[in-house]
Amino acid sequence: MTVVTAEFTSADGPGSSALLTDQYELTMLSAALADGTWNRRCTFEVFARRLPGGRRYGVVAGTGRLLELLGRFRFGEEELAVAESFLDPDTVAWLRDYRFTGDIDGFPEGEFYFPGSPVLSVTGTFAECVVLETLVLSVLNHDSAIATAAARMVSAAGGRTLIEMGSRRTHEQAAVAASRAAYLAGFDFTSNLEAVRRYGLPGAGTSAHAFTLLHTGADGPDEKAAFRSQIAALGVGTTLLVDTYDITEGVANAVAVAGTGLGAVRIDSGELGVLAHQVRRQLDDLGATDTKVVVSGDLDEYSIAALRAEPVDVYGVGTSLVTGSGAPTAGMVYKLVEVDGLPVEKRSSHKESKGGAKRSVRVSRATGTIVEELVYPASIPVEDVVRGATASGLTARAVTVPLVRGGEIVDDAPTLEQGRDLLAAGLHALPWEGLGLSESEPAIPVRFVAGGQQSSAHSHPGGAQ
């Protein structure tokens, strides 16, 4: 039985997060504690070598969840029992007292990232940083993959309403995080009640085909009875699902029962573009001119874009959203880049990393359109980098913000709502080609600045992750 202390209890589900960790983090810890290297001051950096699927941007998501889980990264008796099964007593004792006391800097949620962007930097002793690798990557890789797919859908929807309804297509807890990531990216509603509870997201949902089928009696199907019942319970502003038997009859039944004040009808199957037109015309002919058309059923950013010219008011998106629309993981890595002030770099084939702790500045034209990202050594004051970038008439702003200082989350850590606003603004600041859905290059280049001087580009290092 899990022993839950009050300290570990939180809105993200109570309990320790410490075992959401690969075994090798703790065997490395054990060896480092024994040989004295454990307390070397290290920086680990999270970055992506490439954007999956030829995406033009990535969206950082999950940072808020990660900080919350970090507070519960503590080893209680149950976690220590697992550690004892393969670790020496000194390591187990160290874990018993574990609490992250270092610093974390990173991109706020809702910010774009590109290949090589230093999305998160974790600084402290080797020991206290290395054990966080798995949890950091699990959260950021999942949530960023969903938010990136969601942002493409938001952009493709061109201001129409989007409902996230993919819970049944992914792990039951991943579904809650996916709802959050979709909201961050600009989705309007979620079907997931735990996301409503945990993050205060707006919920949505009315009925499924089962409810219509339930209203089958000795005389056969009775769609009108189902519609009457739903309206009695949810009011005339509800959304009636009209495609259980025959869509044209379904729309006729819906308006016959609800009147022309019906909120919406939903179509969940068939060729949605054709059906949306047909249903819109039928609704208008029946006088239900304000009744909205909701479509769902295997939508992704491409089909959403393809429906932009059709009379669709609301998109319900499931499978493709929660599976990242072909890219279910962001492919970020967590790499040691600095030890005791010295940059370190791996040299194995196709997996080069750039040494040294780094920060980012985003450079824009006067119009607000971003033109490049400058990545600079953390040792350089950000003001110097901004000054150098703005000298040529461009504007620049720091992307990297402090998130944790001395193990404590900073007071002004970005919120989910701030992230949502940041991304909404960001989608207007991308170069126009950055909004394209086809496979292409990153929307802007990432340039590495060495000692104040701009140097090697790093946007396409290639190779496997």
Q: Under DSSP, is residue 162 helix (H, G, I), strand (E, B) or coil?
A: strand
Task: Pick the closer one to a second copy by CB: 90 or 433.
Answer: 90
Task: Pick the closer one to a second copy by CB: 22 or 421.
Answer: 22
Residue 405 is inside which H or E element, if any?
strand 401-405
CB of 349 to a second copy, least distance (A): 4
CB of 31 to a second copy, least distance (A): 4
Task: Pick the closer one to a second copy by CB: 348 or 392.
Answer: 348
Tokens of 198: 């945990």
Residue type, 40: R
CB of 408 to a second copy, least distance (A): 20
Task: Pick the closer one to a second copy by CB: 13 or 436.
Answer: 13
CB of 232 to a second copy, least distance (A): 6
Task: Pick the closer one to a second copy by CB: 85 or 367.
Answer: 85
Handedness of CA 331, 336, 342, 347 (dihedral sign): negative
CB of 33 to a second copy, least distance (A): 8
Task: Pick the closer one to a second copy by CB: 233 or 256.
Answer: 233
Q: Specify the long-range contacts of residues 294-298, CB closer than 8 Å, at least 24 apart.
A: 294/163, 294/239, 294/264, 294/265, 294/266, 294/267, 295/266, 295/267, 295/268, 296/163, 296/165, 296/266, 296/267, 296/268, 297/267, 297/268, 297/269, 297/270, 297/272
Whole-angstrom Cα distance, residue 147 to residue 196? 17
**CA angle centred on 317, ends 316 and 323, rounded to 5°:** 165
CB of 196 to a second copy, least distance (A): 6
Task: Pick the closer one to a second copy by CB: 4 or 450.
Answer: 4
Whole-angstrom Cα distance, residue 397 to residue 385? 9
Whole-angstrom Cα distance, residue 151 to residue 165? 16
CB of 155 to a second copy, least distance (A): 23
CB of 307 to a second copy, least distance (A): 15
Residue type, 36: G
Whole-angstrom Cα distance, residue 131 to residue 26? 7
Using a 10 angstrom Cβ sphere, with 0-12 exposed, 13-18 middle and 19 or more buried, the burial of residue 210 is exposed
